[in-house]
């Protein structure tokens, strides 16, 4: 939703846009509140791109520039029960995007709601001290401000996205996490175009120093099936992107702030985007933890 749109002949995934922004998770991999309540993660993003890239990662001679600002609210409900030993959560994601494009000298601006995403059930297991495993299923709905004839802040189709993630986070020590997501995309009914299936791997590594954490975050998107239009395969046109950059986190107890920058290092059949993220996690309501056993 934050990528740029250009000539469809130069882009895999419809219009070169992934239905999931591949750098969005930041340092929030497998990080869930351990107590019941309602929590919010406010995400502010500015991304920009100055080029389209071909099948071998070469920059194409197409005058192209885009920038986008987004403000996303993630609402997370944490439930007071467990299933199969796992804590249970649900999530609703509401992204608002302002997209500015300049392609072949044609300028345009689009503002509006992008695809609303629902995670009906997320399960989190504590495998060992400091080690957490999370499994969930996201549905990015065919919602938002979409047009089949111009750059839009939504993609115009539904995407089904199973997610698994693993995190080892030691106080005053190492913190490493990996999240893997599949993008199983439905057909766009307005264009009869079906974007191929892709995977997104998001990763973070850092070191906790008191309330601070310094480290790196990044993401790799790899499309591994071909796009189709009107039932015909569009061969040799699969998207790949890689981004990496520095991150800093402050844990204020009741709130958490993360600032990170992810530099686009590689792109094929899409644009190479650079992104700045500011993530602020706060509790809206939380049940106080009960007394320790024996107290």
**Tens digit of pLDDT for each residue in 69-86?**
999 999 999 999 999 999
For 66-111, the DSSP string reads EEEEEEEEEEEEEEEEEETTEEEEEEEEEEEEEEEEEETTEEEEEE
State the Cα–Cα distance between residues 242 and 125, nearest whole angstrom: 29
Domain assignment present for 202? yes
Domain assignment present for 292? no
Domain range for 54:
8-286
DSSP 74: E
- Write down the pLDDT at residue 10: 54
- In this predicted structure, the answer to whether residue 155 has a pLDDT above a threshold of 60 is yes
Stretch among 5-14, 62-71, 204-213 having the lowest mean pLDDT: 5-14
Domain assignment present for 295? no
Domain assignment present for 291? no
Domain assignment present for 36? yes
Mean pLDDT of 244-259: 95
Domain assignment present for 2? no
State the Cα–Cα distance between residues 38 and 269, nearest whole angstrom: 40
Domain assignment present for 137? yes
Average predicted confidence (pLDDT) for the chain? 91
- Write down the pLDDT at residue 6: 39
Could you tell me the pLDDT band of residue 170, with boundaries at 50, 70 and 90? very high
- In this predicted structure, the answer to whether residue 161 has a pLDDT above a threshold of 70 is yes
Return the CATH number at 22: 2.40.160.40
State the Cα–Cα distance between residues 204 and 178, nearest whole angstrom: 7
Q: Are 200 and 184 in contact (CB under 8 A)?
A: no
Domain assignment present for 111? yes
Q: Domain count for the chain, please give it.
A: 1
Mean pLDDT of 270-293: 85
């Amino acid at each position: 939703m934050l990528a740029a749109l250009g000539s469809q002949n130069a882009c895999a995934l419809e219009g070169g846009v992934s239905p999931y922004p591949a750098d969005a998770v930041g340092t929030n991999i497998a990080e869930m509140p351990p107590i019941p309540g309602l929590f919010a993660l406010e995400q502010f993003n500015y991304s920009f791109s100055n080029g389209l890239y071909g099948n071998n990662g070469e920059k194409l001679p197409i005058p192209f520039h885009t920038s986008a600002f987004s403000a996303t609210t993630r609402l997370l409900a944490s439930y007071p029960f467990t299933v199969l030993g796992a804590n249970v959560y649900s999530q609703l994601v509401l992204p608002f995007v302002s997209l500015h494009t300049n392609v072949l000298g044609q300028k345009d601006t689009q503002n509006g709601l992008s695809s609303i995403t629902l995670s009906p059930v997320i399960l989190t297991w504590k495998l060992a001290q400091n080690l957490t495993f999370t499994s969930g299923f996201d549905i990015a709905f065919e919602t938002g401000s979409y047009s089949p004839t111009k750059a839009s802040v939504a993609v115009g189709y539904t995407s089904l996205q199973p997610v698994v993630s693993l995190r080892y986070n030691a106080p005053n020590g190492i913190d490493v996490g990996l999240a893997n997501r599949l993008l199983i995309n439905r057909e766009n009914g307005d264009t009869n175009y079906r974007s191929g299936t892709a995977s997104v791997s998001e990763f973070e590594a850092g070191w906790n120093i008191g309330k601070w954490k310094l480290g790196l975050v990044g993401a790799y998107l790899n499309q591994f099936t071909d796009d189709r239009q009107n039932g015909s395969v569009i061969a040799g046109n699969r998207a790949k992107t890689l981004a990496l950059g520095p991150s800093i986190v402050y844990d204020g107890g009741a709130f958490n702030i993360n600032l990170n920058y992810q530099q686009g290092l590689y792109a094929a059949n899409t644009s190479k985007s650079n992104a700045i993220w500011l993530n602020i996690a706060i509790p809206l309501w939380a049940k106080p933890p009960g007394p320790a056993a024996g107290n």
